[in-house]
Amino acid sequence: MDELSYVLYIDAKPEDVWKIFVTPEGTKAIFFGSVLRSTFEIGSPYEYVGPGNDGEETVHVYGTVLEFEPNKRMSYTEHPGPSYRENHAELETRVTMSLESVGSCTKLTLVNDRWPEGHPSYESTKQSWPMILSNVKTYAETGKTLDFGW
């Protein structure tokens, strides 16, 4: 399966974009009310938890931190939450996000790769990343999130 790769430019500093990805306020805004739980140490677990199938504490995705360089780069394995797929443990992909200054903007590059053949979340993920990343850009630049009508 092809990797999913996105590049966008955001009118904000890398540290401001970074905060959106790692602070409870930021993740709740861009990841549909979920917070990111992790110590962010290499090899440590992480999980996005929020309202969903299992109530307020639904684990939407989880995995292991592979790289973590504040304001620059984060990489982790990713599995769908247990309530989404019975075989969630074997459905592993990798997400790598990097930030770099370009003039007064931030270049955000996100790659979601290592898709196992036939991964059942591939098509939905292909549609959700552009929504999430558009939300990141809008939130960083305006302090508001997009209304997707849900």
| Alpha-carbon gap, residue 6 to 60, rounded angstroms | 21
Q: How many domains does one find in the chain?
A: 1
**79 falls within a domain:** yes
Residues β-bridged to residue 52: 55
**150 falls within a domain:** no
pLDDT tens series, the chain, 150 aa:
899 999 999 999 999 999 999 999 999 999 988 999 999 999 999 999 999 989 899 999 999 999 999 999 999 999 999 999 999 999 999 999 999 999 999 999 999 999 999 999 999 999 999 999 999 999 999 999 998 886
Read off the pTM: 0.93
**149 falls within a domain:** no
**112 falls within a domain:** yes
CA neighbor of 133 nearest in space, from 104, 99, 102: 99
Range of the domain at 59: 4-142
pLDDT at 32: 83
**147 falls within a domain:** no
- Find the CATH number of the domain harbouring 42: 3.30.530.20
Tell me the C-alpha to C-alpha distance, in Å, between residue 24 and each of 11, 62, 67, 115.
21, 16, 20, 28
**23 falls within a domain:** yes
**148 falls within a domain:** no
